[in-house]
Structure 1
Amino acid sequence: MLGLVQAKRELSAAKIAVEAGLAHRTLLNRLRELKTPVLDELTQEHKDNRVFWCLFQREQLLENPTLFHDVAFSDEVRFNLHGGKIECWYLKEENRHDKDLQVAVATRIKGGIMLWGAITACGPVALFRVDGRIDSGAYEEVLFERLLPYLEKHGRDLVFQQDKCPVHTSRRMGVDMAV
C-alpha cells in the first residue's frame, strides 16, 4: 500500500483507495498510522557537548573579551521551498532508516536559494546569493567578491573561520587561500 501511495502522489486518497481495492476510510486509517520521523536526532551527548563548548567559550571570553575580535565567522545555507532533502514515511513496525522508504524530496519539487554570509566583531560582512550549487569555484568567487573587499575596507587582518565542508577544504581552496 505504501508503494502505491508513493507512486501515485498526484492522485487523491479516494482514487488510490479504488485502485488498492480498499474503502476510502480504511485507506485514511492506514495512512494515519504512517509517521514522518526526525532523521538524525541529536542525542543527549550531542546536546551536552554543545552546552560544554558554549560554557568553555564563555569562560574564555570572560578572561579575554577581545578573543574573537580578529575572527571572521562564515557559513552557507540552502533554504528549500519544500523543506528538507529527504521525506521518509514508515509504519510503526518498520525501520525508519530503510532506504526503500525514503523519497528524495528534491526530485519532486524544485526551488530554493543558497546564501553565504559572514560576521565579524565589526558586524555582518554581507549576505551573498549563490546561484545553483556551491562548489569550490563558487565558494572562491564568494570569498573574493565579498570577504576580501570587506577586509580591505576595514584594513585589518582576520582569522577566517569555516567548517570542514569539502568545498572549503578542497585542493583549489588550499592553493587560493595560501595567497
Structure 2
Amino acid sequence: MGSRCVKFGVIALILTGHWKFNMAPHSKELSEDLKKRIVALHKDGLGYKKIAKTLKLSCSTMVKTIQRFNRTGSTQNRPRHGRPKKLSARAQRHIQRLSLGNRRTGAASIAAEVEGVGGQPVSALTIRRTLHQIGLHGCRPRRKPLLKMMHKKARKQFAEDKQTKNMDYWNHVLWSDETKINLFGSVGVKRVWREYKDKCVLPTVKHGGGSVMVWGCVSAASTGELQFIEGTMNANMYCDILKQSMFPSLRRLGRRAVFQHDNDPKHTSKTTTALIKKLRVKVMDWPSMSPDLNPIEHLWGILKRKVEECKVSNIHQLRDVVMEEDSSGNL
C-alpha cells in the first residue's frame, strides 16, 4: 500500500510540474579549429589529462575527438541523416496536386485522402510541412469583387480606349463616389507588434458605434464639396447632390470637362439620366464592378486615417471633423 502511494505521489508531482528531472545538459559542439588543436597537441606527445587541463575541457571529450581522428582521419563529424521522410516523392507530388487542384482544401482533408490512397496514416502537420517546403502557405484569401467574363472584357475595353488619352484629358475629369466613415473602429486591416496589453487591442462596440455616409468629387485641380447623405440615398437625393455640388465643380474644369460615376442604380436611373442630359454633362463610360479604377478611393483612405487620428466619440464630432478636414485643404 505504501509503495503504491509513493508512485501516485511521484506521478502527481510530475503532472503538476513540481518534479524536476536532473538531466545532463547537452554540451556545446567543439569548433573545427579547437578539434585540430587537440589533435596537434596529442601528436606532440601530450596526454589526455594534460590536453584537457590546457584547453579546459573534459578528458572524455579529448578521447572522443582523438579516437574519431584516428578512425576516420578527420576531425569533422559524420553527416547526420536524421529520421527518413515518411512520405515518398510520389506521395509529395500527390499532395501538391491535391492542394493546387482545390486551394481551399484543408490539411486534415488532404491527409485523409492521402491515407485512403496509400494506406499510410499521415498527420495534418506532416501535410502542412510538405506544402511549406514547396512554397505553399495557408493564409486568408484576398477579398475582391466578383468579376465575370463580361466584366473582365469591359475593363479591358475601358483600358484600351483610355490608354491613348493624354494628361490634358485626365486633368478635365471629375471623379465622384460615396463612402461610409465609421465612428468607432477602422474599415481597413490594422496590424500591431503584438503584446498582450491594452494598447495592442483594437476595441469594438456593438453595431459599430455609428457612421456617416458622404458623397465627394475630386479632379486634378482640386477637391469638391463633401455632401452628407441622410438615410438611404435615392435618385432624387442624388440629383440634388449633382445640382448643388457636382455641377459647380464640373463648370470650373471648362467645356472639355468629363464627369465620372459608377453604374449604381440611382446613378443610371431615368431621373438622373434626364438631369444629366438637361445639364449637358458629358459622362465617362464606366465598366461595372470597377471600384479600384477610381482614384478617389485613395482620397477616402486619407480622410479616414485623419478622422481616426482625432479619436471622436459621437456622430456630431465625426461630422465636424470630416467637414474640418475637407475645408482645411489637406486632402
**What TM-score do you get using the length of structure 2 for normalisation?**
0.29
RCO higher in structure (CA 8 A, sep ≥6): 1
Identify, as 1 or 2, the structure richer in helix: 2
Identify, as 1 or 2, the structure richer in strand: 1
**What TM-score do you get using the length of structure 1 for normalisation?**
0.49
Larger of the two Rg values belongs to structure: 2
